[in-house]
Amino acid sequence: MTFTPAASLSGVANIVVRVTDGGSHTFDQTLSVFVVNPPTLDDITDPASIPEDTLGTQSVPLSGISDGDSGAEGVEVSAVVLSDPSGIIQNLATIFVNPTDATGSVTYDLAADKSGTATIQVTVKDQGPNAGFSTGDEATITK
List per-residue pLDDT tens for the chain, 143 residues long. 888 887 777 778 889 999 998 888 999 999 988 777 788 889 998 888 998 888 889 999 999 888 777 666 677 788 889 889 889 999 999 988 776 678 999 999 999 988 899 999 998 887 766 666 665 556 677 77
Claim: this prediction has a pTM higher than 0.95:
no
What is the Cα–Cα distance from 81 to 9, expressed in whole angstroms? 34
What is the Cα–Cα distance from 7 to 21, expressed in whole angstroms? 36
The per-residue pLDDT for 39 is: 84
The per-residue pLDDT for 35 is: 77
Please measure the distance between the N-terminal and C-terminal CA atoms of the chain and give it in whole angstroms: 33
